[in-house]
A and B are shown apart, each in its own frame.
Chain A
Amino acid sequence: MNVDEVKLEWIKGIGPNSTIALSSRIRLARNLRDYPFPSVAKKRDLEGVVQRIKDVLAQDPYFKPFTLIMLSDLNDLEREALVEKHMISPDHAKSGNKREGALLLENEGVLSMMINEEDHLRIQCFLGGLQLSEAWRIIDRFDSILEKHIDYAFDEEFGYLTACPTNVGTGMRASVMLHLPGLVLSKKIGRVIEEVSKIGLTVRGIYGEGSEAMGNLFQLSNQITLGLSEEEIIDKLEKIALRVIEEEELTRKHLFKTKGIELEDSLWRAYGILKNARLISSKEAMELLSKVRMGVDIGLLPSIDKYKFNELLIKIRPAHLQLSVGRELSPEERDKIRADLIRESLN
């Protein structure tokens, strides 16, 4: 299995509102009723969980286009690359190889499932654009078919039981990845974050630490998982996402009117640097790619396919760079290969 080439459907940039909403993701936390949760489970319990899943995969033809990977069969770099693809969590990459961690991958890169992470199963559906309802339809089907074969840990009052009580109920986290350079530039993002948190949703930066959002990429997601149905959570999230997208579009127009030549200059400069740099850090690349993407969105810069931007977001990250050349690289070497890769992609 070549991790470097694991596909991701959302990268294609297809789907409604995919200019600003890069991707829609739904994750379901599920546990097997008869096994202790991974944090306290013994090795043989964890092996039992993997074996149960293997049995189901062999039994049901629905799972034909899926591949099961044991994390212990991968090296550090490959596991890290899966983190960069958002297929597994950093925790899963760190301890999954010792704790019977596994990943189930579907060929087209729409569905995947972490096994033996915080919960026994973390199912994920990843689509381009704002398509939470469609993602729910797909993941709901997967979940229902899986459930025909195994008994989930479920409680009438608390819903799906999870290792951490913050996830009980639907066990669902739905999120939209949004590119919001306009709201950051106009400093409106703080208010958006504040407003959204009042209605049970959260906005946080995707890359970078704490409040810093590298590349102006934010994740809008639900915080509450108990008491509302999946459809209600998704409906609310989708409505708010549309509002934020609308606000971003309006702000971009306004910025252009008020900052005209200044903004134009800054976007063209970003374009110039990306097309000519010989060394570039990940942080600078993310910043400039965000500007160029906005420039293309508003028709200022020559057209570039969204696919390229989405792909670069992942390919310029350290583990992917190192996998692409097949060896470990020093940070300086990475900056050079990253610059080469971006030049190649944009020229």
Chain B
Amino acid sequence: MAGKTLYDKIWDAHVVRHNADGSVLLYIDRHLVHEVTSPQAFEGLRLAGRNLWRRSAVLAVADHNVPTTDRSAGIVDPVSRLQVQTLAANCRDFDITLFDMDDIRQGIVHVIGPEQGATLPGMTVVCGDSHTSTHGALGCLAFGIGTSEVEHVLATQTVVQHKAKTMLISVDGQVGPGVSAKDIILHIIGEIGTAGGTGYAIEFAGDAIRALSVEGRMTVCNMAIEAGARCGMVAVDDKTIEYVKGRPYAPKGELWDKAVAYWKTLHSDPDARFDKAVRIDAASIQPQVSWGTSPEMVAPVNGRVPDPAAETDPVKQRSVERALEYMGLEPGMPITEIKVDKVFIGSCTTSRIEDLRAAAAVIKGRRKADNVKQVLVVPGSGLVKRQAEEEGLHKIFIEAGFEWREPGCSMCLAMNADRLEPGERCASTSNRNFEGRQGQGGRTHLVSPAMAAAAAIAGHFVDVRNF
């Protein structure tokens, strides 16, 4: 019998029962909740007179609607305010732990879960948010769910799931200097496409993934969903265990030793079979810049915007034409000639301390270009912010003319006041370049933190390796 994949191991450990149609009832260890996708779930519980199955498995935080400027006046937008207040009221009524806006632990849900040790190796983790795939970097099975499923998990601590197919993406060898985790995942999505992972659980492996820090692995797993996969994961190694150690929700003492012994088994067996395997040569990965309105529309920074005329598939050709029109780009123009109006450094993809260090390292002692109207640096959590300030990173940003903000989702999806105006072009470290994502008519180019910072200084995209 063939060995098990990491996905198989965690899946098997969480099956409550097999349903007649081949689906299973899967037990959920950690349920993260935010304000946007939960109100209707709590309303559903109330209407049906149901309570929570296991209160202690739930952790809530407001992140999408929170202001990133001074919070002493609260939230100005009454609709945003109501949504955040609704979360607080629901957490009060159902006795759920909430990190509210004034709590130093508040931040983006996918930053604070690992930061608190609330998401651990081997767990099943869900959240009403597609970027839940992030947590798979710790060797857990983490995936986004809809609001009906949020209600289902609140009421039963389980979800009905069909087992996914498995895909191994092996990034062999080492990336060159100036190439980050963000470039690795953008390159992968460029290779396999935004539907390449649909129906699969992706395990990221290979020397280049092993060489990444746990935070870098989170960046990679975060965007598994942009490749269509509900979950991305990385096997547990010493780095994972070192990362988890001492975090507030992590086990202590004897339980720690017991947990570590189990976590060390959380890797795919050498003879495990995957339904699909993809190999990527790490050395071939260049710093990436997205040029279109789908995360698969990426090019190396020293490349050019594609020409739709070169596309043979008519559906793809129309997509490229439409994307270039929306983005206001000319076919064949060099990526480095694209000027930016704004820069956003943040989001659940890249807002952790290492991301901020990478951005700060590039710009130290320089100032943003005059054509760049605004540069937002939005740390992923209050604790990331505090650490960055202890390291003096905020001074480097402020001296460069960047704005140093409070933690939240911010301009990744512009549900709060941070957004692009129609036609504005942004170098963004976030995960989605969809039409209107950062504000109606806004134009998003996805890049790494170092590439975003460099673009802010130069006023246009530049190869961070020669910067």
A and B physically associate: no
Task: Report B's interface with A, CB cutoff 8 A.
Answer: none
